[in-house]
Amino acid sequence: QWNATSSAWDLFSNTLYTYNSSNMMTTMIMQTWNGVSWTPVTQNAYTYFSSGKMQSDQLQNWNVLTTTFDPASQKTYYYDPSGNLINETDNDFVLGTPVYTSQWVNTFSAGNQMLTSTLSTWSGTTWQPATKTTNTYDTSGNTINKLFQTFNPVDSSWNNSTYDIYSNFVTGTHLPQMDVLQHWDATSTGTWAN
């Protein structure tokens, strides 16, 4: 980073990468400069299925007492036979034991288009729904609508929040040139407002 006093660049951070024989990243180590040498801070350790899909991403913090990396959190990924990500389950490590924090469950169409993505949080005993995104597509495979909802635990219902309407797609792509964002007006008319 720039040192205005000395008008020079000072060493600040360094990232080290390691790869397996398939050229997939297995670790990413973040370091900071302590004035004399590079000091480890965190490490991401990655594992993969035989298909090459990522299985887990574990964040580890450097322990100066043991001079090793201790697990802090982890993301674990699950896929369907078509290779679609159907579940991501996240954990924090408490005294070395993994504890659930959050989970994303995705559903897909027969054409491998993501239909829904539901976020749930761990209550200590079960998964509690929090938010859900629902996508709809036209016959060309363009995402034409995206509905975002939040879960109401009082009556176990999904409440509308925002709604995107996509149109005017770039020829040969699924990129929309227009996005109309609507917000749900639940207080008066119970309708969408641009």
pLDDT digits (tens, 9 = 90+) for 81-139: 999 999 999 999 999 999 999 999 999 999 999 999 999 999 999 999 999 999 999 99
The contacts found for 75-79 with CB under 8 angstroms, 24 or more apart, are 77/53, 79/49, 79/51, 79/53
Place of tokens 């600040």: 12
Task: State the pairing for strand pair 114-122/38-48.
Answer: unpaired
The pLDDT assigned to 86 comes to 98
Q: Which residues contact 61 (CB under 8 A, 6 or more apart)?
A: 41, 42, 69, 70, 72
Q: How far apart are CA 56 and CA 75, in angstroms?
A: 5
pLDDT digits (tens, 9 = 90+) for 21-80: 999 999 999 999 999 999 999 999 999 999 999 999 999 999 999 999 999 999 999 999
pLDDT digits (tens, 9 = 90+) for 2-31: 999 999 999 999 999 999 999 999 999 999
Tell whether the torsion through CA atoms of 126, 122, 98 and 19 is positive or negative: positive
